[in-house]
Structure 1
Amino acid sequence: MDEVSFHLSQCLDSLQIIFSNLVHSGKLVLQNVREHTHVLLVQLQNCLPASYIQTFNTFLQSLLHGIYQLKQNINASFYFYRGPFVLADTFNRTNAISATLGLVFGTGIGLVIGLCMQYPCAPVSSMKAIGCMNLSGIEDITLDDTLVPCILYSDQILVKVYAGSIDAVDIRIASGYASTLRRLLTKHNHNAKTHVPVVLGRDCAGVVVEVGSAVSKFDIGDEVWSAVPSYCQGALAEFVVLKEDLVSKKPKTLSFEESVSLAYSGSLAWDVVFHKANLNTSNAESKKILIHCGSTGVGCILIQLCRLLDTHITVTCLSRAVQVMLGFGASYCIPLETPDLEEQLIKQRSRYDIVFNCRAGPDAHELCLQLCSKQGKVVTAVPPRLASDSMGFLLGMFYSVYVNVFYVLLGRTSWDHVHFSYSILDQISNLVDSGHIKPVVGNIFKPQDHQKAFHIVDSNQAIGKTVINFAR
């Protein structure tokens, strides 16, 4: 027994040294984080209201004080409980049994508390979802089985998806777009254990199958549609959980496939026309508008919105789409296959008041700038590059603090260049049902044909939207 006590004492001495080193290292890390956080707060002070600054300062001080108190308590507890074992004066079988029973009993209590505090969830079942694991491009996109998400908050809705569309931004997401922001926000999404695999798809149309206790606008069985930001998990799945303020009742006159072709693209088009370009019925009449690559999903809707404002519309589009563009209200169409297209556009004497660019990339943007009048503007109708995707370690640490502070403390929920909302979908739905906006569905695929669908979108040869139809 003395030999056992001696070896046990040696083990505990080693653990004490390791524990002390860990505490010391942790203290240095906390001090370093505190210094960097202080610098960040000084920078934020110029752009935040005084009330927010005061609230955050109080929160940070309480947090640091709590960490310090926890460290002190751990140190005190360690030395208090260490004494009898190291000295081995009172070590016997009774103490060993008591310690073991205490460990088992404490673990049991902790397990019970953890089970009681876990988020309530519906019975586990699986569904099909289109997503990617390694963020390495189109070839990484697969159709896999995953768990059906469940309602975790009172303002959420569970939707059975009948159709979802593929947007060009989904291909960028499959290659890493918005991955940093999504990883940070996934920590607060208990339906997603990690930020990968990423479910693709920026919109969906389907039927409500369950509602949270605070949901007031929807009932089970309602036909709805939704558009979600690029930093969120997507909607190309058989079921999706959505916040109520991202959901609207779909247009009554359209099918699920037709509706979903307008949700995300329509939200982008609405934002660039009425918010970024700041057009309205009083200032838009007779303005000269160019829509570059107008046969895309967002381009087809831009033409129809600009027509409602009585503007003069010129469109560059695929030659196959010229008649569609003219039917939507374009005054003049220039096929993208035209030889020396850029030179011909630049040589035109007329310049445009507003150029809507529907193609990503610096070359397209530079061309659009050359086609603007001196007082004109270029408005990009595709999601821009995100600075967070190229941050190093130090800037990434600051950005992580920034996101967590604004999400947890200040309740910020929108991080995109577009504020997606049910109100925009409601207005688009009204225009659809009144006959002012029509959908353009280029192709419809089954989920198992997702690779073919994504390659068509990536080819830039699709007219309108490519839709995935989930079996009812």
Structure 2
Amino acid sequence: MHAIAALDARPVTDPLALRDIEVPDPTVRDNDLLIRVEAVSVNPTDVYRRAKVKADGPPRILGFDGAGTVVGLGSAVTGFSVGDEVWWSGDAFRDGANADLQAVDHRIVSRKPASASFADAASLPLTSITAWEGMFERMRINREDAGTLLMVGGAGGVGSVLTQLAKRLTSMRVIATASREESAAWCRRMGADAVVDHRDLAGEVTALAPDGIDYVFSSYTPGNIEAYARVLRPFGQIVSIDGGQLDLLPLFAKSIGFHWEYMFARSRYETWDMAEQGRMLAETAELVDAGDVVPTATVRIDDFSAAGILEAHRLVESGTVIGKVVIHR
């Protein structure tokens, strides 16, 4: 089959940073669906992993968001049939969606929204799962909760979905961060109640919420811990999705909780509750079909090749993209 792969670590300006190659069709495990990929989107993790590919290793087929059609079933699969139109985020430790075919554990797949094209559907799986897990599992927010949530990186892929879910499924006030007027306008379109400039995070949040806020969902954590400590109330909660070495001591005096969110943990360790991710995607699909959540694709590239996907990497790596970049057939 045709696939797009990184063979070594090259800068995004190098036309050989991603290459069109031919590889065998995926091996289908008992719990797998074999899916013909129709569309993918590019996330920051694609850019990060492309830059870490070792020249002496196997080709790395990236792609952690996909939408397509089921063409084969493993022996233990239930609930799916050949011909189903599905969406998924996949497993960071298996070959990804940048290929004609991908084998994906059926427990982390659901049928895509009927109302969404493959391209629009591909914009949502990774970011939706990250938002669901971070908000409802890490911070333990429930659907009756009020209070104020700060979404740091409101115009990004995760921020765009989390804002929508928070406004549709909870009673929280959402403050988003953005530094450009077009980014701020996007955050408001996603449902943010207010938008602040991250360059004066503590000052602008305090002006809006002088008594403090309750939750922070952080896409850009290094350098912001002291600001979070200032604006959060005692016993507030932070979820970070970007990793890194952090000094958390400023959080101690207010007994602020800090959580990592890594949506590939379930698939990496095949946890007993892997199917929760399929459930999250199914519920998101219902919200999309009801008009309560909108897809976040803002750039659509009609070129499912190394050149098309590399252009998407370039856009994501620039740090200026609002929403998601999608590549489709």
TM-score greater than 0.5 by the shorter chain: yes
Return the alpha-carbon distance in structure 2 between the equivalents of residues 145 and 289 of structure 1: 45
**Stretches (4+) displaced over 4 A:** none
Q: Distance in 1 between matches of 2:90 and 2:76?
A: 20
Superimposed CA distance per residue, residues 203-237 of structure 1 (whole angstroms, 9 cap, x where no aligned partner)? 10001112223322222211011112333322122
> Residue 254 of structure 1 is aligned with which of 96, 112, 116?
116
Q: Is the 8 A contact 1:290 1:313 kept in 2?
A: yes
1:221 matched to 2:77: no
Equivalent runs, 1:66-465 vs 2, <5 Å: 126-129=1-4, 131-138=5-12, 139=14, 141-176=17-52, 196-282=58-144, 284-285=145-146, 287-308=147-168, 309-317=170-178, 318-336=180-198, 340-342=199-201, 344-345=203-204, 348=207, 349-359=210-220, 361-380=221-240, 382-385=241-244, 412-414=269-271, 421-445=277-301, 446=303, 447=305, 448-465=307-324
1:220 match: secondary structure: coil
Q: TM-score, normalised by structure 1?
A: 0.58
- Deviation at 1:419? 8.2
Structure with a larger share of its residues in strand: 2
Counterpart of 1:375 in 2: which secondary structure? strand
Deviation, 1:356, is: 0.9
Query: Which structure features the higher share of helix residues?
Result: 1
Q: Is the 8 A contact 1:345 1:371 kept in 2?
A: no
Unaligned runs of 5+ in 1: 1-125, 180-193, 387-410
Asked if the contact 1:346–1:370 (Cα under 8 Å) also holds between the matched residues in 2, the reply is: no
> Helix, strand or coil: the match of 1:261?
coil
Contact 1:227/1:420 (<8 A) preserved = no
Question: Hey, what's the Cα distance between the residues in 2 that align with 1:322 and 1:135?
Answer: 34
Structure 1 CA distance for aligned equivalents of residues 271 and 227 of structure 2: 31
Report the 3-state secondary structure (helix = DSSP H, G, I; strand = E; otherwise coil) of the residue aligned with 1:421: helix
Instruction: Please tell me the residue identity of whatever aligns with 1:203.
Output: D
How far apart are residue 375 of structure 1 and its match?
2.2
Equivalent residues of 1:267, 1:420 under 8 A apart:
no
Which amino acid counterpart does residue 140 of structure 2 have in structure 1? N
Give the letter aligned to residue 288 of structure 2.
V
Provide closer, same or farther for how the CA distance between residues 267 and 327 of structure 1 changes in structure 2, counting only shifts above 3 A: same
Instruction: Tell me: CA distance 1:168–1:244, structure 2 relative to 1, closer, same or farther (3 Å).
Output: same
The total of aligned residue pairs comes to 296
Q: Deviations over 1:68-121 (max 9, x none)?
A: xxxxxxxxxxxxxxxxxxxxxxxxxxxxxxxxxxxxxxxxxxxxxxxxxxxxxx
* Deviation, structure 1 residue 366: 4.5
Deviations 1:271-298 (A, max 9, x none): 011011111123x12x011111100001
SS at match of 1:199: coil
For residues 366 and 427 of structure 1, the distance between their equivalents in structure 2, rounded to whole angstroms, comes to 36
1:468 matched to 2:324? The reply is: no
Work out the CA distance in 2 between the residues paired with 1:260 and 1:144.
21
Q: How far apart in 1 are the matches of 2:99 and 2:229?
A: 39
Q: Is the 8 A contact 2:64 2:90 kept in 1?
A: yes
* Residues 165 and 468 in structure 1, CA contact (< 8 A), matched pair in contact too: yes
d(CA) in 1 for partners of 2:163, 2:92: 24
Deviation at 1:245, TM superposition (A): 1.1
**Secondary structure of the equivalent of 2:133?**
helix
Measured on the aligned residues, the alpha-carbon RMSD in Å equals 2.7
Whole-Å separation in 1 of the counterparts to 2:194 and 2:73: 47
Contact 2:39 2:327 in 1 (8 A): yes
TM-score by length of 2: 0.81
